[in-house]
Structure 1
């Protein structure tokens, strides 16, 4: 693909892209990135890279990538926007011709302390307790009356989930701002998620890509289970037929102003329709949903739980491949 054809293709991409020359000056950005940064396409040409970057050592790191000709990943980088505002993004850098290609994924902004999420969830928790009790009672009756072992196991699964959701509802109603920490085996949680998904009337195809060296982490198992279930449900509602559950260990993870020495990354990857471009910047905010019948609470709650654990929840999406990545610190379990 020649340069003109490449730029024509890149200009149509929803992902923000930028080219930097050998002097670390911006030589081109695509319309998607210009829109996110509220910049004119021509205004940035010839400007130094630090026009956009608010990180003090970003230029030195970019120069190192250029010199060593090796790709790099920046996470949680602050970018300047017109009007002295800032946004946060993950950036992939790779050598390209005589300079660098930057792929910019703008992250949804964290929930503010004034978010209506907690109050909304408390109201929801109050309303859901009675139906949960009825659901649990019906499952107990079924478990006692059926002879088929598989059906009894499914009834037991319903009872366990009703108990877990009941406990979550109680804690939302009486939330004291703390997470109840204990040893958590993430692969056990993913195994339970697999059991729940396989109990669906039309279960998705599941693929597992686990790092067996992942140690236990310090966390709240029930709340983390809810995050994984929310992510899987969202994928199915987006038309996913295949889900991949992947675990990895990351070192030196940059989360804004914090750096985690060692972190667990759990990826939930689906082949659904993807996140609509109009929702990408507000995806994790409460009451935001891409479906007419959606509540817009699942992802907001999931990110709040990630923050409670000292971690983060991020998303990268294109049609046919959406990746939700849950990052959780591991150093607290081994300090």
Structure 2
């Protein structure tokens, strides 16, 4: 664990990583963990682990991992950040081969923000995707520097941007910034971005655009709304659609849960695939429900949750050959 190449790789991880010595003092930590703790990497080196892992029973488990040279996993341990916050984490500890411990820290969403059963399900998934995303981003950066031609460099840049966006989504599920980050969103820019991503696929679908250019911006989290559109389009393609139509309209008097929207922006993703199986109509947006043998059943459930976060709704209608998924987002009062 002493080599510089290993540390250079670990410094790129979105997961918090640290090394402590036999006296349980911090020998090294990566920027992700320093940011989580609200400290600098240099100022933390040399400090006792007890400063941010204060529970005696947790420290005893760290000592056990050292003495017995074995891996120890702490679930829902509490860390004390340097800005007086407390953080709930999953903490893995294993011998580093040099008399110390390698720590891997995964921050968990605060319980008050983890009310959604879906978000709880996705927390473990978010843990798993962050490190592969860091590796994917690094590989794309190398490709971007080494390939010739603006088209190939642009494709590598597309991979980097998507890796960053997905890492940000994973962080919001795992950390305290789980709430959406609202701002003005041009829905047509998101749809144009979606078209770029679909056209970069090995067998892209035919795309048709039917936009209402007079529609104003909506207020929302651009990354999350992009994920909804991407989920809808990829679901259609994976189900066998060959043509997608992306349509935008304004609509009045839309019910979103218990709320009535006087005016809403509607985004339709229309596909010519086989349609939704009849037995799934009533449970289509529930977690772990999928019409494909290799499907996870998370994409549509997450998409509806994001729509609800924005005060909107997600619906499905149509028939085989013309399936329509409609995302409704409230327009600002000035446009109602």
Q: Identify the TM-score tier after normalising by the shorter chain.
A: 0.5 to 0.7
Q: Which residue of 2 aligns with 1:245?
A: 246
Whole-angstrom distance in 2 between the partners of 1:168 and 1:254: 27
Return 5+ residue gaps in structure 2 as ranges: 1-113
1:1-335 alignment runs, 5 A limit: 116-175=117-176, 178-331=179-332
Return 5+ residue gaps in structure 1 as ranges: 1-112
Any idea what the Cα deviations from partners look like across 1:149-181, whole Å, max 9, x if unmatched?
111100000000000000111011015553211
Count of residue pairs brought into register by the alignment: 223
Whole-angstrom distance in 2 between the partners of 1:115 and 1:216: 28
Whole-angstrom distance in 2 between the partners of 1:289 and 1:186: 27
Any idea what the Cα deviations from partners look like across 1:175-215, whole Å, max 9, x if unmatched?
55532110000000000000000001111000000001100
Whole-angstrom distance in 2 between the partners of 1:299 and 1:176: 22
Q: Which residue of 1 aligns with 2:87?
A: none
Give the superposed CA RMSD. Answer: 1.6
Whole-angstrom distance in 2 between the partners of 1:207 and 1:166: 30
Whole-angstrom distance in 2 between the partners of 1:218 and 1:332: 11
Q: Mark the CA change 1:221 to 1:330 in structure 2 (over 3 Å): closer, same or farther.
A: same
Whole-angstrom distance in 2 between the partners of 1:129 and 1:176: 16
- Structure 2 contact 194–229 (Cα < 8 Å) conserved: yes
TM-score for the superposition, normalised by structure 2:
0.64
TM-score for the superposition, normalised by structure 1:
0.64
Q: Mark the CA change 1:332 to 1:169 in structure 2 (over 3 Å): closer, same or farther.
A: farther
Structure 1 moving runs of 4+ over 4 Å: 332-335
Q: Mark the CA change 1:114 to 1:285 in structure 2 (over 3 Å): closer, same or farther.
A: farther
Match of 1:294, SS state, is coil
Identify the structure with bigger relative contact order (alpha carbons < 8 Å, sequence gap 6+): 1
Whole-angstrom distance in 1 between the partners of 2:281 and 2:293: 17
Match of 2:248, SS state, is strand
